[in-house]
Structure 1
Amino acid sequence: MAFYSKQKDAHISSVIEKTYKAMYTKVADLNVVGWTTPEPVKFEDRYEGEKKELSLGQTWGQLWDCGWFHFTGKVPAICKGKKTVLLIDVNGEGCVYDDNGCPMRGITNVSSWFNFERGKPGKRVVQFLHEAEGNEKVDIWIETGCNDLFGNYSKEGTLEEASVAICNEEIRSLYYDFEVLYNLMNQLPEDDARHMSILYSLHEATKVLRDYNEEEAIKARKILKVELDKKGGDPSLSISAIGHAHIDLAWLWPIRETIRKGSRTFSTVLEMMERYPDYKFGASQPQLYFWMKEHYPALYEKIKESVKKDRWEVQGAMWVEPDTNISGGEALVRQVVYGKRFFRDEFDKDMKILWLPDVFGYTGALPQILKKSGVDYFMTIKLSWSEHNKFPYHTFNWKGIDGTKILTHMPPQGTYNSSATPKAIKNSEKDFMEKGISDRCLLLYGIGDGGGGPGAEHLERLDRMKNLNGLVPVEQEFALDFFHRIDKDCSKYNTWDGELYLEKHQGTLTSQAANKKCNRKMEIMLRELEFASMLASINNDYVYPQEEIEKIWKEVLLYQFHDILPGSSIKRVYDESVARYKILSEETRKMTEKAYSALAEKIGSDDIKNPYIIFNSLSWKRNEWINLDGEWKHISVPAMGYVVVDKGQSNVDQNGLVATDNTLENELIKVEFAADGTVSSIFDKENNREVIPEGMKGNKLSVYDDDGDAWDFNITYDQKSPVEFVLQSSKSYVDGPRAIIKQTYKYGESELVQDIVLTKDSRRIDFNTKVEWKERNKMLRTSIPVDVHTSEAVCDIQFGTINRPCHRNTSWDAAKHEICAHKWVDLSQRDYGVALMNDCKYGYKVMDNTIDLNLLRSSEFPGVNADYGTHNFTYSIYPHKGDHVTGEVAKEAYELNIPLNSMKGTKNDVELPQEKAFIQIDNENVIIEAIKKAEDDNSLIVRLYENSNSTSNAKIHFGFNVKSVQLVDIMEENPNDLSIDGGTVNLIFKPFEIHTLKVEI
C-alpha cells in the first residue's frame, strides 16, 4: 500500500507542476525600450539616461543600475473574451506606473535568491484586461533596479520575459486546489483517513487531465471540491494570519533602493487588496511611510485610504525597527516618541504594539519604556534563531529590569515570511508552546525585502484554509485584534525576567566600529544640543530649534536600524552613513555653539580678566582638569550649569605625578608596565590593593583569527592562542596634570599607538588609542584580569544595569560568550571592584575575573574591508572602593563620554551670575538623561532615572522660575501635578524607574 501511495504521490506532483505551467499561455511578445542611469530618476525624467532597445536575453545594466522601461505592443485577437495579463521579468526589481506617475504594482525576478519553501519570490504577472476585446494597445512604464531582492546581480541583468498572455483562470484555480490539498495530505500520517481520502481525490482529479484545458480543469475541480468543502470541528486553537512584508531599510542594498522597494511593495499590496476582499496587511516603520509620502504622494494617499477602510494595519511603535542592544536609552525613547506621533498625526492611530520581528536581542530596559509610552504589547520572531537553547515560550509576560511587564508573542512558525501553506499551519500548531493555555497564535505571511509581501499564492491558499478539515482554523485579522484576544488570559502566561538575549549575531556588537562610534557621539552631541538650546531659550529670546533638532534625530534613528548600526550591511551603506554623520555632527556642533553663545551673553564676567565659561550638562557637580587654549585649570562646575573662570596661568601642582618608561603614578594609583608594554601592576595606594592578579598581565592587545561574517564569529575563537601586537617604542612624559606613556605597537601591516594617561587626583587610567588597522578576517581585543572575586559582572545598559554570569555553569550561561554593555562593565566584591569603561565600544566577554573588550573586527561579508582604516577610541580601567554604586562607576563613565564644554566669554555685567546650577538633585543615584523642549508647547521636559537598583527619594531643585511641574509619561501626556516648594519637587523612584517631568516656565 505504501509503495502504491508513493507512486500516486509522484504522479500527482508531476501533474501539479504541469498545471502550474499551463496557467498562462503566451500569445505575443512586447517591444521594450529602456533608458538606464546609475541612480534613480523620477517619472517625469524617465527619458534621461542611455537609451537601449532591448530583446529577450539582452543585458540592460550592471548591479545597482536603474532604468525606465517602456513596454509596448498589441493584444492579439485570440485573446477576445479572455482574461489577459502581461508577463514581465527584467531580472531585477521593478514597479509599474500609471500615466500620472503613481506606482501601481511591483514586479520581482523569478531567479531571486530565496527559500522557495516560503513561496516563489518572482512577481511577474501584471494584471491587464479582465476580458479582452482583442487589438487593445499595450503601453506601460516600469521603473527598474538591476538587482534581485537581496542585492544580487541576477543572470547578468538580462531581459528575461516580456509577453502578452492569456490567464487560464480555471487552470489557475485548479493549481491552488491541488497545491493546498497535496500540501495538507503530506502533513498527515499515511494511515490517517483524511490523508487517504485526499490522496484518492487528488489521484482521481489527475485522471481527467490530458490537454490541461478549461473543460478538464472544471471537471478536476469538481472532484477536489469534495475535499475542500470538508470543515473542521470545534477548534482548541485558531491562527490569526496577517499579511506582512518585512523591509530592511538598508542591508544588502543602499538606503536609496529601500525607498523604491517600499513603493514596489506597497503598490503591490494595494493591487492585491482589490482582488482579494479578505486580505489584511500590516507594515511598520514610520520612516518608510514618510518616504512614501515624500517620494510617492499619490501612492501614500491610497495607503491612507486603505488604512481608513480597515484593510491595512499600521504597525510598530518606533520610527524604525532599531537595534536595541547598542542604541542609547534616550534614542530608544525618541524612536517611540517620533514613531507613535507620526502614526497618530498621519493615520489617527495610537500604536499599542512594538513590532520588532528581526532585531538581534532586546534590552531589559524596553518593557518600561514601552509601558510608559502607552505600548501594551510586543511582537518578535528573532529569539527562535538562538543556537544553543530553545527559548521556552511563545506567549509570555516579559519583565524588564525595573519589574515592568509587557505581554509578548513570538509567532511559533519562527518566520516573518510564512508561506501560508498547510505545512506552515501544521508547524505553527505543533510548535506553539502555549497551546492548551492560549487558543490563538499569530502567523505572518508574505515575502519581504522588496518581494512585494503576500502574493496571489498566499491568498489563494488562505481562502481555501479558512476552516479546512485537517487544519486548525485560520482567520485573517490585524495583529492588534490578535493581541486583544490573548490579553484576556494574560495572568495565565509564564514570565521571562530580564533581557531577551539572542544566542546569535554577537559579532554585531563590534562590526563596523566607525559607524558605532559615530552613533555614540551623535547621541551625546544631541543631548548637549538640547541642553544648551533649552537653557538659552529659558534665559534669552533664543528660539529653540525644534524642527532642526527633530530632523537630525530622525536621521540618527534611521541609522540605528537593525542592519545599519549592528554593522551587517554592505560597504556602501557605511560609506554613505559615515559621510552623513560628519555633516550631522557639524550641524549639531554649530547649533550647540550658537545656543551656548546666546546663553553666554547673559552671564556676568565683568571682573574677570580673561573669562572662559565652562558648561556641565550632567546632573552632578564635576571637579575636573580642563585645558583652556594650552593652559590647564582645575575647576568645579555646578550640576546642569556653568562656571566662569579666569584662564590666567596654569594652576597645576605636579607633585606626586610620575611618568617613566615603565611607571605611571599619582597620589592614588601606581601603574607598572612589563617589558612587552602590558600592565603588570595597578596598585591602589589609597585602598592598599593590587588590581592585577599575581602572574597575570593587563591590556594584552590580542589578535584572533576571525573567519566569521558581520553577524557571527566562532564561539571557540579563543581556544586558539592569539598573536599580540608587539611593542616598538615607549615614551613617557608629564603634561600639566597628566602622567603619560606613549606606546607604539605593530602587528602585520597594522600600527597601534596608545597614550596611557593617569591624571592628577584621578583613579581612572585612560588608554587613548589610535589604530591603523590593515587586517582582514582578524579580531582585536584587550583584556583586563582583576583581583576580584564575584560570579557576576554588572553591565551598563539603557536606564540602568544588568547582571550577567562570569561562569559557564549552564548552557544558558555558556551561550552568553559575548555580551553587550554601553559605557562600562564592572567586577566587584563587597569591598572593592574594578570597571572597564569605553567611549564607543559594546562587545565584552567576561569570564572568571577577566574583562575582555572587543575593539575591532575585519569581516568581509556583507561589508567588504570592514574596519579597514584609521580608528580612534578610548577605554579606561577604573579601580574603586566598594561595589559599582559605592565606587560611582556610572558617574565616572558619563564623565569619560560627555566632556565639559568650554567657550571664551565676553566682558559682561548682566543678568546671570558667574556660577549657576539650573537643576540640582540631592540623590546621587538619580541621573538626568535628557533635557529638551516639550513636543507640543514651550515647557521643559526633564527625563530622569534611578541607576543603583534602589528605591530612592529625590529632591529636584530648579534654579529658575517655575510655574508648575507635572509628572508625565514618555509621550509627555497623562499629567499628574506635583507640589512645588521653593522651586523644589519631591520624587520617589522605584529601582531603575524612569520619570519624565514637564516643567512650565
Structure 2
Amino acid sequence: MLTFNQKLVRDIDFHIRKIKDNIYTPLAELTVYGFITPEPVPFSQRQQGKSFEFRIGEKWGDLWDCAWVNVRGTLPSATYEKNITLCFDCGGEALIVDGSGVPLRGLTNVDSTFERSLGMPGKTVWRLPAEYYRSGEVNIWIELACNDLFGASTGGVMRQAHLAHCRDDLRDLYYDAWVLFDLLSCLDAKSPRYKAVLACLNDALNGLGDFSEANVAKCRQALAKELNKQGGDPSLTVTGVGHAHIDLAWLWPIRETKRKGARTFATALDLMSHYADYIFGASQPQLFQWIKDDHPELYQRVKQHVQQGRFEIQGDMWVEADTNVPSGESLVRQFLYGRQFFREEFSQTTRMLWLPDVFGYNANLPQIMRKSGVDYFMTQKLSWNEHNKFPHHTFTWQGIDGSSVLTHMLPEETYNGPAAPRSIRRIEEEYREAGVCDSALMLFGIGDGGGGPGPEHLERLQRIRNLSGISPVKQGKAVDFFRHIEKTQPRYPRYKGELYLEKHQGTLTSQANNKRFNRKMENALRELEFVASRQWLCCQSVYPTDALRALWQETLLYQFHDILPGSSIKRVYDESCARYQAMLTQAQTLTQRYLDEFTTTLAIPPGKTVVQNTVGFTREAWLAQPDGYHHVTLPAFGYAVLGDAQVIPPILATPDHLENALISVDFNDQGHIVAFFDKQAQRPVLQPGSIGNRLAVYDDICADCWDINITYRDRQPQAFTLVSSAAYQDGPHAVVEQHYRYGQSQLCQKISLLPGSKRLTFETHIAWHEDLKMLRTSFVTATPSDDVSCDIQFGKIRRRALTNNVYDAAQFEICAHKWIDYSQRDYGVALLNDGKYGHYAKDGVLDLNLLRSQNHPGVGADRGEHTFSYALFPHTGDEIEGLVNREAMLFNNPVRVSVSEGRTAEKTVALPDSFIYCDSPHICIETVKKTEQGDRLAVRLYEFDGVHAATTITLNAHMGHCCLSNLMEEDEEPLTVSDGCVSLTFTPFEIKTLLIDVA
C-alpha cells in the first residue's frame, strides 16, 4: 500500500514524463538514401558500396557495417524561429558532417547496455543551423555505424528520420521539474526542504492543465520558488568536468574507436556553442592523433577550444594504459610520447595521470610519474574492490622509492556521472576525506563507448549550481581542482605501495599471445635501441628515429587497458596479433642489420662467428657451430669472437632423471617432479613429498576474461596426462621431452639443464582447445616465507604469502613480471617466465597461471597454439645474493649471433669488448638510446634490490658533458666525468637517466 506522499511522487513522475513526451512535435518525414560498406570509407568516397534506400522500421546492416547516407527534405512553410530539430536514429551510431565532410555532431541510438541509473545514453536530436531556414531545404550527409555505444548490434534498424518542432519553454519546464524531482531522492523525507519541494512540484504540475505558453510559464514560475533557493556557506564544493571515457578498443575494434572519437569531439564542440560555461576534457594523445589524421578541420577547432580554455587535455600517457603488465620502460614511453605530443600540438602538458578505468596500479608508478613531470593522479577503479573497501578518496600515494603523488579517487565512484542532484548527494555521503578537503571532482557524461555529455547534463548543471539541499557545483578544469586541493595536502592520509584492485585478476593471464607479444616487443625495442645507438656512436650509422617512434607508439597503443589485459572482443586480438608479428619482424630485421654492420666494422675473417650480449650483465652461453659446441663468456653490452670448440662437461638425462654437477631432478611416471635436490647446497629445493610441475586444469567457472572466481582452488583440479617421455642430450642441454594430453588439447614440454647452471627450464608448446578451463603449474618450495618477492617495473615488492586476514585472502592472484621468489636469508627459489604475469603465492607455493579459456568478451579466448617458457631457479642466499633479477633478465634476452662475410667497412674502428657497463651488482642498465631531441646518448638505470648503491658507469666511447635528467630527458643536473667514467649513487629502487654528449 502506497503512502500519500508516495502517491504524490508517482503522480509527479507521470506529469514529468508527459511533459517530456510533448517537447518535440513531428513535422515532416525525411528521405534517407545512401551506400553501405563493410568498413569505413572517407567522405570523398561516400558514394561507393551497396546503394540502399533506408526506410523506417527496416534493417539496413549487420554488426560493424558502415554507411554514408544523404538525408533530404523540405522545411514546412510555417516558421518556427530556428526551433526545428532533426530527429534521427539509425539503430546505431552516426556522425553529421557539413558539405565538406567536417564533423558537426555525433548521434547514437537510445538502446544500449549503458547503466540506466547514470542516465540515458541516446543522442538523437540535432537543432538545425540557421542556413537551413534560409534555404528551406534539408540536405545532410551522415556517416552511420551499425553498432551501439557498447559494440553490440541493435539490428541495424532505421527508427527515426524526421523534422520536429522543439518547444523550448516546455523543454525548460521539463528540466526544472526533473531536477527538483531528483532532489527529492537526496533529501530526508521528514525534512522541511523535502516537504516544500514535494508540495511545490505537486501544486505546480497539477495546475499546469494544457501546455499553452501561458500555462507553461506559470508552472515554471511556481517551480522557481524552490529551484532558486540557494545553499549557505558550503562545506564542500564539487567541480564538474564534462567527460567521455573512450575505450580505444573493447567491445568494438580500433577502427570504430577512431569514429567514436570524431563523434564525441564534434558533439562536445557543438554543445560548447550553446552552453557558455561548458568545459569538456579528454585524455589520450593517440585519440587526438587519430582526429588530426582523419578530420583535420575538426582537430583545428579542438585546438582553438583548448587555447580558449574550454577543452581540457587530461593525462599525459599516450593511451590510458594498463599499469600492471607493461614494463617500466613502456610506462616511461607512455609519458614521453604523450607529453611530447601535447607540448608540440598544444604548447602545454598536464600534470595529471588520468586513469579512471585501469585494473590496479603498480607500486613504482609514483616515481615514474614524478620523474615524468606528473604530480596528480585521478582514478575511480579501486571502488570496484570486491572484498575490502579502499579506505581513501583523497590521499598521498607513496611508491617503493619514497616518491609520492597527490591522488583523488572520484567520490561518486563513476566517470559516467549524470550530473544530477543524486550525484552530489552520493559525493557528500561517500567522500571519506570531506572533513579535511573542501572539494571533490565529478566527471559527467556518457563514457566507455564515448559520446560524452548531452544537453540534459548541462541543463541540470545550470539548475544545481547552488541549489539548496545539496553542495554547490561549478564547472571547471580538473587541473585547477588539483591545484586547489594541493594547498591542504599535508592533512590528507598517506598510502604506500601498490594500489591492488580486488577484481579483474584474470586480466593478468587472458589473451596470452598478446601478453607474450608485448613482452617480446619490449625486449626487441630495447635491443634495437642499444645496437642502433652503438652503431650511431661508433660508426656514424643512421639512427632509425622514425621507425622506432612508430614501433613504440603502436606498441603503446596495444597496452591500452582493454587490449593488453585481454578484455576486448576477438577481432581486436586477431588484428593486434597480426600487427605484433609484423612489428616484431621489422624490429628484429633492423636489429640484425645493425648486428651485421657491427661485425663488418670488426673486420674479422670470413666465416667467424660473433656472439653479442645486448643486456647489461655479464653472461655465459653455449652455441652450436659446425665444428662442435662453443662455450663463451660475454661482457655486459659486449661481444666475443668464437674460437675453438670445447668439451661439454658431464650431464645426465633419462626419462625419470636430469642431473648436472649442481642439481638433480627426479620425475615420476606422470612426468611430475618428485625430487629436486641442490647438490651444491646439500638441501632439497622443493618440499619433500610434494609434486612439482603438475599441469593442473581448473574449472574456470562463474568467470570471464576479466575475472577469476576466488573459489577456484576449492575445487580439485584435473591434470594433463603423460602420453610419452624421452630423454636425450642436445649438445650441452640435458633434456627430458614429455608429451601430454588433456581433453582436446596436446602439450609438449622440453625440460632441460645446462652444465654449471641451477636453472631448470620448461620450454612449452601447447595446442589448447578447452572451454572454461584454466591451466596452471605449481611448485611447493622447501623455503617457505611469510612474504614473497615479486619483480615489478624498475624494482620489486614483497607481498604477504599468508592468508591471515581478508586483505591477504583477497590477493589470491598477484602480478609479477620476469620472476617471483621465496627466500630465507640463506637460500631461496625463484620462478622465472618469458611472458606470464598471473601468480598465486601462498604458504610456500609458487604457482604460475599459464592459460585461460573464457568466452566473454573475446569468444574462444586463448584457444589455439601457444609457445612459452618458464624456469625454476634455486639459489644460495636471498634473491639479492642469488642474483635472481640478473638470471631473469638473461632468461628473457638470448644472445645474438652474426657471422662475418669477410667484408670490411669503409671505416673500421677499434671497438672494446663492452660498449657500456656498471660495476654494481645492484644496478641494471635498462635502456641505451639516442635522445629524442639533439644528438646525445640517453642511458636509463635503476637500483633493483632495494638497497643504497654506488657505481661507476663506463662508456667505451668519448664521454663529453654528462648530466642527470628526468625521464623526459630534461631538467639537467651536471655530473663530473673522469677518464670516460661517471660515478653515481642510488637510493633504493631509484631510477636515473643520464644524458651524455659524445664525440
Q: Compute the TM-score of the two structures, normalised by the length of structure 2.
A: 0.98
Percent identity between matched residues is 47
Q: Decide whether the 8 Å contact of 2:539 with 2:909 is kept in 1.
A: no
1:927 matched to 2:897? The reply is no
The alpha-carbon deviation at position 117 of structure 1 amounts to: 1.5
Q: Which residue of 2 aligns with 1:407?
A: 406
SS at match of 1:241: strand
SS at match of 1:481: helix
The alpha-carbon deviation at position 81 of structure 1 amounts to: 3.2
Q: Which residue of 1 aligns with 2:954?
A: 957
| Matching residue's letter, 2:290 | W
Matches within 5 A, 1:895-974: 895-907=890-902, 911-913=908-910, 916-974=913-971
Q: Which one of 874, 882, 889 corresponds to residue 887 of structure 1?
A: 882
Q: Which residue of 1 aligns with 2:352?
A: 353
Q: Which residue of 2 aligns with 1:468?
A: 467
Q: Which residue of 1 aligns with 2:557?
A: 558
1:772 matched to 2:772? The reply is no
Q: Which one of 727, 741, 745 corresponds to residue 746 of structure 1?
A: 741
The alpha-carbon deviation at position 137 of structure 1 amounts to: 0.3
| Matching residue's letter, 1:203 | N
SS at match of 1:963: strand
1:336 matched to 2:335? The reply is yes
Q: Decide whether the 8 Å contact of 1:70 with 1:140 is kept in 2.
A: yes
Label 1:549 to 1:133 Cα distance change in 2 as closer, same or farther (>3 A).
closer
The alpha-carbon deviation at position 676 of structure 1 amounts to: 1.1
Instruction: Report the Cα distance in structure 2 between the residues aligned to 1:344 and 1:725, rounded to whole angstroms.
Output: 54
Instruction: Report the Cα distance in structure 1 between the residues aligned to 2:59 and 2:506, rounded to whole angstroms.
Output: 38
Q: Which residue of 2 aligns with 1:993?
A: 990
Instruction: Report the Cα distance in structure 2 between the residues aligned to 1:574 and 1:83, rounded to whole angstroms.
Output: 46
Q: Which deviates further from its counterpart, 837-846 or 69-78?
A: 69-78
| Matching residue's letter, 2:666 | E
1:872 matched to 2:867? The reply is yes
The alpha-carbon deviation at position 490 of structure 1 amounts to: 1.0
1:120 matched to 2:120? The reply is yes
Matches within 5 A, 1:453-464: 453-464=452-463
Instruction: Report the Cα distance in structure 2 between the residues aligned to 1:880 and 1:451, rounded to whole angstroms.
Output: 51
Q: Which deviates further from its counterpart, 673-682 or 449-458?
A: 449-458
Q: Which residue of 1 aligns with 2:47?
A: 47
SS at match of 2:530: helix
Matches within 5 A, 1:241-256: 241-256=240-255
Q: Which deviates further from its counterpart, 621-630 or 453-462?
A: 621-630
SS at match of 1:564: coil
Q: Residue by residue, what CA displacement relative to the aligned partner does 1:454-490 show, whole Å, maximum 9, x if unpaired?
A: 1101000001111111111101000000000000111
Q: Which residue of 2 aligns with 1:537?
A: 536
SS at match of 1:77: coil
Instruction: Report the Cα distance in structure 1 between the residues aligned to 2:82 and 2:779, rounded to whole angstroms.
Output: 76
Q: Decide whether the 8 Å contact of 1:264 with 1:450 is kept in 2.
A: no
Q: Decide whether the 8 Å contact of 1:644 with 1:914 is kept in 2.
A: no
Instruction: Report the Cα distance in structure 2 between the residues aligned to 1:915 and 1:982, rounded to whole angstroms.
Output: 15
Q: Decide whether the 8 Å contact of 1:926 with 1:945 is kept in 2.
A: yes
Instruction: Report the Cα distance in structure 1 between the residues aligned to 2:452 and 2:623, rounded to whole angstroms.
Output: 56
The alpha-carbon deviation at position 350 of structure 1 amounts to: 2.0
SS at match of 1:602: helix
Q: Which residue of 2 aligns with 1:366?
A: 365
| Matching residue's letter, 2:768 | W
Instruction: Report the Cα distance in structure 2 between the residues aligned to 1:82 and 1:339, rounded to whole angstroms.
Output: 42
| Matching residue's letter, 2:549 | E
Q: Which residue of 2 aligns with 1:666?
A: 660
Q: Decide whether the 8 Å contact of 2:317 with 2:335 is kept in 1.
A: yes
Q: Decide whether the 8 Å contact of 1:70 with 1:141 is kept in 2.
A: yes
Q: Which residue of 2 aligns with 1:598?
A: 597
Instruction: Report the Cα distance in structure 1 between the residues aligned to 2:826 and 2:869, rounded to whole angstroms.
Output: 27
Q: Which residue of 1 aligns with 2:690?
A: 696
Q: Decide whether the 8 Å contact of 1:171 with 1:213 is kept in 2.
A: no
Q: Decide whether the 8 Å contact of 1:786 with 1:850 is kept in 2.
A: yes
Q: Which one of 974, 978, 987 corresponds to residue 977 of structure 1?
A: 974
Q: Which one of 842, 845, 857 corresponds to residue 850 of structure 1?
A: 845
- Gapped runs of 5+ residues in structure 1? none
The alpha-carbon deviation at position 115 of structure 1 amounts to: 1.2
Label 1:699 to 1:132 Cα distance change in 2 as closer, same or farther (>3 A).
closer
The alpha-carbon deviation at position 630 of structure 1 amounts to: 8.2
Instruction: Report the Cα distance in structure 1 between the residues aligned to 2:767 and 2:647, rounded to whole angstroms.
Output: 34
Instruction: Report the Cα distance in structure 2 between the residues aligned to 1:553 and 1:131, rounded to whole angstroms.
Output: 46
| Matching residue's letter, 1:152 | A
Q: Which residue of 1 aligns with 2:855?
A: 860
Q: Compute the TM-score of the two structures, normalised by the length of structure 1.
A: 0.98
Matches within 5 A, 1:373-412: 373-412=372-411
1:822 matched to 2:817? The reply is yes
Instruction: Report the Cα distance in structure 2 between the residues aligned to 1:365 and 1:767, rounded to whole angstroms.
Output: 30
SS at match of 2:519: helix
Instruction: Report the Cα distance in structure 2 between the residues aligned to 1:985 and 1:626, rounded to whole angstroms.
Output: 35
Q: Which residue of 2 aligns with 1:641?
A: 638
Q: Residue by residue, what CA displacement relative to the aligned partner does 1:748-800 show, whole Å, maximum 9, x if unpaired?
A: 11111100001111110000000010111100000011101310000000000
Label 1:24 to 1:652 Cα distance change in 2 as closer, same or farther (>3 A).
farther
| Matching residue's letter, 1:775 | E
Instruction: Report the Cα distance in structure 1 between the residues aligned to 2:781 and 2:795, rounded to whole angstroms.
Output: 23
Q: Residue by residue, what CA displacement relative to the aligned partner does 1:129-169 show, whole Å, maximum 9, x if unpaired?
A: 56986981011011010001011111x21100011000000
| Matching residue's letter, 2:670 | D
| Matching residue's letter, 1:622 | R
Q: Decide whether the 8 Å contact of 2:734 with 2:754 is kept in 1.
A: yes
SS at match of 2:959: coil
Q: Which deviates further from its counterpart, 111-120 or 57-66?
A: 111-120
Matches within 5 A, 1:693-842: 693-707=687-701, 708-842=703-837
Instruction: Report the Cα distance in structure 2 between the residues aligned to 1:419 and 1:74, rounded to whole angstroms.
Output: 36
The alpha-carbon deviation at position 451 of structure 1 amounts to: 4.1
Q: Decide whether the 8 Å contact of 1:108 with 1:451 is kept in 2.
A: no
Q: Decide whether the 8 Å contact of 2:242 with 2:280 is kept in 1.
A: yes
Q: Decide whether the 8 Å contact of 2:321 with 2:358 is kept in 1.
A: yes
Q: Which residue of 2 aligns with 1:61?
A: 61
The alpha-carbon deviation at position 532 of structure 1 amounts to: 0.5
Q: Which residue of 2 aligns with 1:172?
A: 171
Q: Which residue of 2 aligns with 1:98?
A: 98
SS at match of 1:917: coil
Instruction: Report the Cα distance in structure 2 between the residues aligned to 1:98 and 1:891, rounded to whole angstroms.
Output: 59
| Matching residue's letter, 1:796 | D
1:76 matched to 2:76? The reply is yes
Matches within 5 A, 1:613-632: 613-628=610-625, 631-632=628-629
Instruction: Report the Cα distance in structure 1 between the residues aligned to 2:674 and 2:614, rounded to whole angstroms.
Output: 37
Q: Which residue of 1 aligns with 2:38?
A: 38
The alpha-carbon deviation at position 624 of structure 1 amounts to: 1.9
Label 1:640 to 1:74 Cα distance change in 2 as closer, same or farther (>3 A).
same
- Gapped runs of 5+ residues in structure 2? none
SS at match of 2:687: coil
Label 1:716 to 1:126 Cα distance change in 2 as closer, same or farther (>3 A).
same
The alpha-carbon deviation at position 628 of structure 1 amounts to: 4.2
Q: Decide whether the 8 Å contact of 2:692 with 2:778 is kept in 1.
A: yes
Q: Which residue of 1 aligns with 2:17?
A: 17
Instruction: Report the Cα distance in structure 2 between the residues aligned to 1:175 and 1:669, rounded to whole angstroms.
Output: 79
Instruction: Report the Cα distance in structure 2 between the residues aligned to 1:857 and 1:16, rounded to whole angstroms.
Output: 50
Q: Residue by residue, what CA displacement relative to the aligned partner does 1:622-675 show, whole Å, maximum 9, x if unpaired?
A: 1222334684211011111212223x5x313242x0001100000101011011
How many aligned residue pairs are there? 995
| Matching residue's letter, 1:543 | V
SS at match of 1:190: coil
The alpha-carbon deviation at position 450 of structure 1 amounts to: 3.9
Matches within 5 A, 1:212-231: 212-231=211-230
Instruction: Report the Cα distance in structure 2 between the residues aligned to 1:42 and 1:751, rounded to whole angstroms.
Output: 46
Label 1:131 to 1:594 Cα distance change in 2 as closer, same or farther (>3 A).
closer
| Matching residue's letter, 2:896 | N
Instruction: Report the Cα distance in structure 2 between the residues aligned to 1:704 and 1:629, rounded to whole angstroms.
Output: 46
Q: Decide whether the 8 Å contact of 1:110 with 1:122 is kept in 2.
A: yes
The alpha-carbon deviation at position 604 of structure 1 amounts to: 4.0
Q: Decide whether the 8 Å contact of 1:83 with 1:131 is kept in 2.
A: no
Q: Residue by residue, what CA displacement relative to the aligned partner does 1:576-611 show, whole Å, maximum 9, x if unpaired?
A: 0000011101111111112222222221424xx741
Label 1:643 to 1:364 Cα distance change in 2 as closer, same or farther (>3 A).
same
Matches within 5 A, 1:676-695: 676-695=670-689
Q: Decide whether the 8 Å contact of 2:261 with 2:450 is kept in 1.
A: no
Instruction: Report the Cα distance in structure 2 between the residues aligned to 1:836 and 1:799, rounded to whole angstroms.
Output: 18
Instruction: Report the Cα distance in structure 2 between the residues aligned to 1:914 and 1:159, rounded to whole angstroms.
Output: 70
Label 1:798 to 1:451 Cα distance change in 2 as closer, same or farther (>3 A).
closer
Q: Decide whether the 8 Å contact of 2:445 with 2:452 is kept in 1.
A: yes
The alpha-carbon deviation at position 907 of structure 1 amounts to: 3.8
